[in-house]
Structure 1
């Protein structure tokens, strides 16, 4: 643990901070992989990598009953797809961006020669007529400015296919509430990795095999989870992602439910969720005094859980979500107390699993 930016009284874990600092757009997760390797591999009995870039850490590999915990390592990003004659870089998006917040941002481009700084641009409001001002620019109407003299200058520094992330770093806002570029889903990958680290010190209390996975490429179609869950063939699984905190203005709770920062993990129920796993999560939370919130989702969720549930012959799957404001923007907001409660819940759930159990109902 170490003191963190803009905080005088709350400590953030170094593991989490390093994940948040890592720049890891979908398909370019190298920096986040290195952090997961550093902190999780030493605690694992078995540690694996695969062709899509997943990181798989295992405790008690010989146990027949198993639980997989999945958090994804990737984040939103931009990918250069065209450089014009004046050296401006055009891009496509990795993951689902809100076009309203793209322009006017500082970005960091990962190139063969290291990080290149740039700024996302569009035509200034002063140069638009009244109708144009009402429109949100299309992706191809924005660009990245690296102050290049011309195309040749830009191409000497940046290649088509290079990826970029917003230059927005971690900071505390008040108490344990913090903001960062990519709590979605560095928060989830930290939670599953830290859960395994803690359980490694209490293996005598475990009857199940524990598999904590930092998945790749969730933001472009839960691709890493499709592979890791198929290969792991777990008995049980819990996906860990972020969920929408609705405790802010302009959010109709009749449509989106009521979820607050600082009130604990969001536990989901619905067709994507195995009822036995749901029941075990609730029992673990209540037996250990862990606060939680309930979400009803009548569809396959927009998380790794939707791939895990139908992997192979099927997996008894649950989902817990970290309450988060302003999802898929450069300044997402969470309460780190909720992060800690998610870890405590997974630890308690793991210890509750008994040899021979399954999710058939």
Structure 2
């Protein structure tokens, strides 16, 4: 199998494995099996974060790398007398994309198929056609004939996900749900594998964090426990190279042009310059992104752990975030991996990141 097919196989397995906030066990097992041969130690903490340790030749600086493994989803909050379900979002779900979506509901060891439904367009009143329905106005149809019938196969509190699949588009471009942030997970997995026979001057902690989509909870506890000197978060960045988005408002980030490297108050400026220099020296294409406030990522909490952490944010460009048809270029993932390897294999103990 060539590298392109190998990369597609990995991202397909990552994106199609469920794991909403608080229910990351399935994706955690998959990632654990992928990386167990490439770590010196693996820890699962009380919150469910997967912490993979690669010991270096020196104990400082201690470096944390983080990508969250949870994705958006929902929970069953109500079952009516006719067996139709109501759902509550877990994470940021756009109600515009929910109608007509097939879903999977996870009940104990079973998977139940369903569809998120609404009135047919033929039966809508004029006013109804002009507004977007809220998620709590929609219902889920699992084919049940009554509440009692539904309760035989599902329960209140069961979690669910959209039933999407990862597909190839043209060239190295793919589409899937869940690329936020399974793309970041793939970057960390590939980086760990590439570093197997590389002696790094630092102790590395690869964190596959939980519950980012509801407040970066996993990053808070794992960073507190590890108390790193440096923290690098691998995320996704909005691709602005589509109709309807203004680059002068949202920034100039495109697919196929390499990772986006953030600058702003959440990012240590000396670490930022160090990463830029490594990208330039390695002829790795990259893009710049400005964040004038705390980033909506795990980084915002890692930075203020204990007495403070020198942090950086590197993101893979992604179109249509938090939909079932997110679009990404696998070349950007591999450029991000190369950049991380250059940074990690050469980052010395005496680097001065004090501000």
TM-score by length of 1: 0.95
Which residue of the partner structure matches residue 44 of structure 1?
A: 39
Q: Does 1:194 align with 2:190?
A: yes
List aligned pairs for 1:96-245, cutoff 5 A: 96-203=92-199, 206-245=200-239
Deviation at 1:237, TM superposition (A): 1.0
Counterpart among 256, 259, 266 of residue 265 in structure 1:
259
**Partners of 2:80 and 2:147 within 8 A in 1:** yes
Matching of residue 343 in structure 1 with residue 337 in structure 2: yes
Q: Which one of 254, 275, 280 corresponds to residue 281 of structure 1?
A: 275
User: Which residue among 53, 56, 59 is the counterpart of 2:51?
Assistant: 56
1:86 is the counterpart of 2:60: no
Superposed CA offset, 1:82-109 (max 9, x none):
1110001101001101110011000011
CA deviation after TM superposition for structure 1 residue 283, in Å:
1.0
Q: Secondary structure at the match of 2:128?
A: helix
1:319 to 313, 316, 337: 313
Structure-1 separation of matches of 2:302 and 2:280: 26
Work out the number of aligned pairs and report it: 354
**Match among 240, 243, 262 for residue 246 of structure 1:** 240
Paired residues of 1:65 and 1:358 also in contact (CA < 8 A) = no
Partner Cα separation in structure 1 for residue 325 and residue 184 of structure 2: 17
Whether contact under 8 Å (2:88, 2:135) holds in the other structure is yes
Q: Report what 1:6 is aligned to.
A: none
CA drift at 1:2 = 6.5
Q: CA RMSD in A?
A: 1.4
Taking the aligned partners of 1:2 and 1:170, their CA distance within structure 2 comes to: 18
Q: Which residue of 2 aligns with 1:357?
A: 351
Q: Does residue 71 of the first structure (1) align with residue 75 of the second (2)? A: no
Partner residue, 1:12 = 7
User: Unaligned regions of 5+ residues in structure 1, if any?
Assistant: 4-8
Partner secondary structure for residue 111 of structure 2: strand
Matched, 1:32 2:27: yes
Q: Deviations over 1:13-68 (max 9, x none)?
A: 54333211211111111111011110112211111111111000111166221211
8 A contact 1:273–1:317 mirrored in 2: yes
Counterpart contact for 2:85–2:140, Cα < 8 Å: yes
CA contact (8 A) 1:226 1:311 kept: yes
Tell me how far apart the structure 1 counterparts of residues 155 and 179 of structure 2 sit (CA, whole Å): 28
TM-score, scaled to structure 2: 0.97
CA contact (8 A) 1:265 1:323 kept: yes
Q: Provide runs of 4+ in structure 1 moved above 4 Å.
A: none
Tell me how far apart the structure 2 counterparts of residues 41 and 15 of structure 1 sit (CA, whole Å): 15
Is residue 310 from structure 1 mapped to residue 324 from structure 2 by the alignment? no
**Cα 1:186–1:44, aligned 2, differ >3 Å: closer, same or farther?**
same
Aligned equivalent of 2:16? 21
Instruction: Give the distance between the partners of 1:270 and 1:216, measured in 2 at CA.
Output: 25
Using a 3 Å threshold, how does the CA distance of structure 1 residues 358 and 226 change in structure 2: closer, same or farther? farther
Counterparts of 1:127 and 1:18 in 2: how far apart (Å)?
Answer: 40
